[in-house]
Amino acid sequence: MPAQGSPVSGQTVCVTGAGGFIASWMVKLLLERGYNVKGTVRNPEDSKNFHLKQLQGAEDRLVLCKADLLDYESLREAIKGCDGVFHTASPVTDDPEQMVGPAVEGTKNVINAAAEAGVRRVVFTSSIGAVYMDPNRSPDVVVDESCWSDLEFCKNTKNWYCYGKAVAEQAAWEVSREKGVDLVVVNPVLVMGPLLQPNINASIIHILKYLTGSAKTYANSVQAYVHVRDVAEAHILVFETPSASGRYMCAESVLHRGEVVGILGKLFPEYPVPTKCSDEVNPRKKAYKFSNQRLRDLGLKFTPVKQSLYETVKSLQEKGHLPVPEPLS
């Protein structure tokens, strides 16, 4: 962590897709640290971006720039005069048309604009989706920064989100090498925690469905989880640490869906959390092994998954996305 009163005051950074779940937290923490922030959004006047203007320090040090990933000039304008860029904006969809092209072209545009502006470092938000989709990996292999998703496997299983994330990250490495841009990549797993933005994002729906009664059973599958604040911290940490380089896996723990609903059921017994697995024939899927050592070596302390789940539900209640039932007597 940088020392108190660290020399960030006066530094300007750009955060793409500033209104998103992770990006909003980045903007919040960057402002708290004293940075000037330029956030790109599609429409600065859209009410879904108003939460950014309410953040501490936003009045003096946040500028929302109208920009589109596929419009190079708009990005160039936003990134001009910046010391660093956090490229977080990305489509989240399983539609290959909407996912792959924009993810790759948008990433190339951001890095080209960063090269032109002479920024010190670009931090790119990739995903576990670019890392672990590989049917040939032995269950004993530790998933770490050296792992890459198998693109053919992603294509054949029509997992366009993971495919798009993997090709976008590859494009980021390629263009940054060509242009001599200092690139560092963070690969978060499924992100949970309190929402700053008004709308519900894709990763939070994954938890919400177990509380509303819309999911009657849980899947026989495993997933890695991490707290949104830890993800935002990780990005700032790799930006501020001169020696940081390469990729950083950002994960706290891997849980079976049965463990997730078990925790939710204990913490919030008043909700109809499912207790039955949709697949009672096959053996229970085992958690994969992963390493988050590189981020821990930089000083990141991960929030325990139980706390992340608790804070997610509390936030959904506060934001009115989840009714607060009468406590059980």
Which residues are catalytically annotated? 165
274 to 157, 215, 278: CA distances (angstroms): 27, 7, 10
CA separation for the pair 131, 150 (Å, rounded): 9
Q: Residue 126: how many CA atoms within 13 Å on its side-chain side? A: 31
CA separation for the pair 40, 17 (Å, rounded): 5
CA separation for the pair 53, 32 (Å, rounded): 13
Radius of gyration from C-alpha coordinates of the chain:
20
3-state secondary structure of 275: coil
Cβ contact 74:38 at 8 Å: no
Let me know how many helices (H) and strands (E) the chain has, helices first: 12, 10
Tell me the two tokens of residue 316.
């959904």
Query: H or E stretch including 264?
Result: helix 257-267
Closest CA to 185 of 249, 247, 97: 247
